[in-house]
């Protein structure tokens, strides 16, 4: 999810880097917009280093890209912490004299404010009126905590602790109050607009097999050709499926053991041949097969049984590659009636076409029921970073698009699988052959 984190100039700003870190660890992309006064407490380099995004305070800094409008339109959630009495007053009055307050006037997504100030300021009629007005307009203004303030004084006015703010964010997301972008295209999902809640056991009775990670192709016993896949997307899919009631097998290609989720059967593999064997072994009993692994397209034509040695003449051994079989295509070919096969495609886009164009061509080529097309680059797709995904059907038509953390993308994928199974049930029932339940 794209979050704007506004920071105004109160001493509580010193706690906000912890909040920023937690948001990033949960997979959110966070842009920090401090006020000039906030930078007196925590400097721009701290915000930039922790958010990996630039930090500016004035609308004139990003005048060429009209940042206050661009950032406001892209935001899916705004958090202002701490929100000082001054910030609350400016927001309530609609004053736009810096980047943060100007952006607050352009956002249409939910806004969560965490006030922090001295008790007298919090209790002043002006602040009370500003808070009431903001709440009336739908801004989620938290009550400050009661406790120690800047000095020895205590009372209401303390900013809630970062973990309490994280809980408030989670509650807000769970309430489903975030913007529904369904009018913008074929359908958009994020963690709060998931149509099938994770608490719904809508995958109960389904056996799903998911490949994850990246395969390795050995040149000799110690060297291999590999790729950058961390396996996190496949793990998120496995975790979400298990939570939604499925019986899950995770075919894990070279995944760090500490990342493996509980409650799923794990089959560890290394090479493409092993991964193909594991998927085909599982396929006859599976209702859903997901190929989320990054499979090596090529392997060395021969692998040395012993370690390849350097020679004194400096001649480098030739590396001849042969193509690996396409596991997804073979699963599609062997698909039994009613079985759903899902593929993933990581694309960068190039001179020959955009991410989506390459994705469409691949959807037609592979024939999977659903193909999740990921835009990958230096800051998207690999590792613990936010993801964006277009879900295409076998004709290359976009079914839905989603973005956010890998958990959000996993939810989008499972929602689409559930919808597909329900549509098929309906079609069968319409044709007089069904009982209304997914073919399981
Ligand atoms: N895949 C597979 N077997 C392969 C290569 C890929 O099953 N030998 C699967 C991946 O797990 C993924 C989908 O095919 O679900 C698309 O993978 P990708 O690497 O994007 O596609 P390729 O067919 O390898 O095409 P290219 O690399 O040329 O874009």
361 C-beta closer than 6 A to ligand 1: no
Question: Measuring from atom 18 of ligand 1, which residue has the nearest CA?
Answer: 345
Predicted local distance difference test score (pLDDT) of residue 393: 94
130 and 268, same domain (yes or no): no
Mean pLDDT calculated for residue range 248-254 = 97
328 C-beta closer than 6 A to ligand 1: yes
User: Is residue 77 in some structural domain?
Assistant: yes
Strands of 93-167 (E only): list them. Answer: 111-115, 140-141, 145-148, 154-158
User: Is residue 438 in some structural domain?
Assistant: no
Spell out the alpha helix ranges (H) of 289-405: 327-333, 355-366
The rounded Å distance from CA 399 to ligand 1 centre is: 20
pLDDT tens, position by position, 199-248: 478 999 999 999 999 999 999 999 999 998 889 999 999 999 999 999 99
How deeply is 64 buried, as exposed, middle or buried, from its count of CB atoms within 10 A (0-12, 13-18, 19+)? exposed
User: Is residue 383 in some structural domain?
Assistant: yes
Query: Which of the pair, 313 or 348, is modelled with greater confidence?
Result: 313
Closest-lying ligand 1 atom to the alpha carbon of residue 347: 20
User: Is residue 202 in some structural domain?
Assistant: no
Mean pLDDT calculated for residue range 279-288 = 96
Would you place residue 385 in the very low, low, confident or very high pLDDT band (cuts 50, 70, 90)?
very low
Is pLDDT at 272 greater than 60 in this prediction? Answer: yes
Which is nearest to 50 in space by CA: 72, 71, 69, 31? 31
56 and 95, same domain (yes or no): yes
Residue in 130, 227, 374, 387 annotated catalytic: 227
pLDDT tens, position by position, 395-425: 999 998 877 778 888 999 999 999 999 988 8
Would you place residue 375 in the very low, low, confident or very high pLDDT band (cuts 50, 70, 90)?
confident
Quote the mean pLDDT of the chain. Answer: 87
Is pLDDT at 380 greater than 50 in this prediction? Answer: no
The rounded Å distance from CA 295 to ligand 1 centre is: 6
* Domain C-terminal end among 178, 197, 216: 197
373 C-beta closer than 6 A to ligand 1: no
Predicted local distance difference test score (pLDDT) of residue 153: 66
Q: Angle at CA 428, nearest 5°, toward 422 and 432?
A: 140
Rounded Cα distance between 210 and 181, Å, is: 29
Residue 248's DSSP bridge partners are 208
Which is nearest to 368 in space by CA: 335, 401, 409, 410? 335
140 and 169, same domain (yes or no): yes
Q: Where is average pLDDT lowest: 17-21, 118-122, 251-255, 400-404?
A: 400-404
192 and 328, same domain (yes or no): no
356 and 233, same domain (yes or no): yes
User: Is residue 437 in some structural domain?
Assistant: no
Predicted local distance difference test score (pLDDT) of residue 228: 86
325 and 405, same domain (yes or no): yes
pLDDT tens, position by position, 22-77: 999 988 999 999 999 999 999 999 999 999 999 999 888 767 666 778 888 889 99
* Domain C-terminal end among 197, 217, 243: 197
Closest-lying ligand 1 atom to the alpha carbon of residue 358: 29
pTM over 0.85: no
285 and 400, same domain (yes or no): yes
Instruction: Identify the CATH number of the domain in which residue 392 sits.
Output: 3.40.50.10300
Question: Measuring from atom 12 of ligand 1, which residue has the nearest CA?
Answer: 344
The rounded Å distance from CA 273 to ligand 1 centre is: 14
Is pLDDT at 173 greater than 50 in this prediction? Answer: yes
What is the span of the domain harbouring residue 287? 207-430
Q: What percent of the chain has pLDDT over 90?
A: 63
* Domain C-terminal end among 171, 197, 223: 197
Strands 298-300 vs 370-375: parallel, antiparallel or unpaired = unpaired
User: Is residue 440 in some structural domain?
Assistant: no
Which is nearest to 393 in space by CA: 183, 187, 252? 187
Contact 313, 285 (CB under 8 A): no
Closest-lying ligand 1 atom to the alpha carbon of residue 323: 8
Predicted local distance difference test score (pLDDT) of residue 429: 77
User: Is residue 245 in some structural domain?
Assistant: yes
Cβ of 287: how many Cβ atoms within 10 Å? 21
78 and 158, same domain (yes or no): yes
Name the CA dihedral angle for 197, 202, 207, 208, rounded to a multiple of 10 degrees: -30
Query: Which of the pair, 10 or 148, is modelled with greater confidence?
Result: 10
163 and 182, same domain (yes or no): yes
152 and 247, same domain (yes or no): no
Instruction: Identify the CATH number of the domain in which residue 107 sits.
Output: 3.40.50.1950
Distances (CA, A) of 332 to 206, 214, 328, 343, 440: 18, 20, 6, 10, 18
The total number of structural domains in the chain stands at: 2
The rounded Å distance from CA 111 to ligand 1 centre is: 40
- In this structure, what token pair is assigned to residue 4? 């704007």
Predicted local distance difference test score (pLDDT) of residue 190: 43
160 and 247, same domain (yes or no): no
233 and 170, same domain (yes or no): no
User: Is residue 347 in some structural domain?
Assistant: yes
Verify whether residue 196 is a known catalytic residue. no
């Amino acid at each position: 999810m794209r979050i704007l984190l506004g920071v105004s100039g109160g001493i509580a700003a010193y706690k906000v880097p912890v909040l920023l870190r937690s948001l990033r660890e949960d997979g959110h992309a966070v842009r920090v917009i401090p006020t000039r006064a906030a930078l007196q407490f925590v400097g721009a380099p701290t915000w930039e280093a922790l958010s990996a995004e630039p930090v500016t305070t004035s609308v004139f800094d990003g005048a060429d890209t009209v940042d206050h409008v661009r950032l406001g339109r892209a935001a899916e959630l705004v958090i202002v912490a701490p929100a000082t009495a001054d910030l609350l007053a400016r927001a309530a009055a609609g004053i736009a004299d810096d980047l943060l307050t100007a952006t607050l006037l352009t956002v249409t997504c939910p806004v969560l404010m965490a006030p922090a100030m001295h008790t007298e300021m919090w209790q002043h009629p002006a602040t009370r009126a500003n808070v009431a007005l903001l709440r009336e307009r739908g801004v989620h203004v938290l009550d400050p905590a009661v406790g120690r303030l800047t000095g020895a004084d205590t009372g209401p006015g303390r900013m809630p602790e970062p973990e309490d703010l994280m809980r408030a964010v989670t509650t807000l997301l769970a309430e489903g109050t975030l913007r529904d972008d369904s009018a913008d295209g074929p359908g958009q999902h994020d963690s709060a607009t998931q149509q099938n809640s994770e608490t719904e056991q809508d995958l109960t009775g389904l056996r799903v097999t998911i490949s994850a990670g990246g395969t390795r192709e050995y040149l000799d016993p110690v060297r291999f050709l590999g790729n950058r896949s961390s396996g996190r997307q496949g793990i998120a899919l496995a975790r979400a499926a298990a939570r939604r009631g499925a019986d899950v097998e995770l075919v894990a290609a070279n995944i760090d053991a500490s990342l493996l989720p509980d409650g799923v059967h794990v089959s560890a593999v290394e090479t493409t041949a092993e991964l193909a064997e594991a998927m085909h072994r599982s396929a006859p009993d599976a209702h859903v097969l997901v190929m989320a692994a990054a499979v090596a397209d090529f392997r060395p034509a021969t692998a040395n049984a012993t370690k390849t040695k350097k020679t004194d003449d400096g001649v480098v051994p030739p590396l001849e590659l042969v193509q690996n079989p396409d596991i997804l295509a073979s699963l599609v070919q062997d698909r039994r009636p009613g079985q759903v096969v899902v593929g993933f495609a990581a694309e960068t886009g190039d001179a020959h076409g955009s991410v989506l164009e390459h994705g469409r061509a691949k959807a037609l080529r592979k024939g999977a029921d659903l193909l999740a097309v990921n835009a990958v680059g230096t800051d998207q797709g690999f590792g613990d970073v936010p993801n964006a995904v277009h879900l295409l059907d076998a004709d290359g038509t976009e079914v839905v698009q989603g973005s956010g953390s890998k958990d959000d993308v996993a939810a989008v994928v499972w929602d689409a699988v559930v919808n597909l199974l329900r549509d098929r049930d309906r079609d069968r029932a319409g044709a007089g052959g069904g009982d209304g339940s997914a073919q399981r």
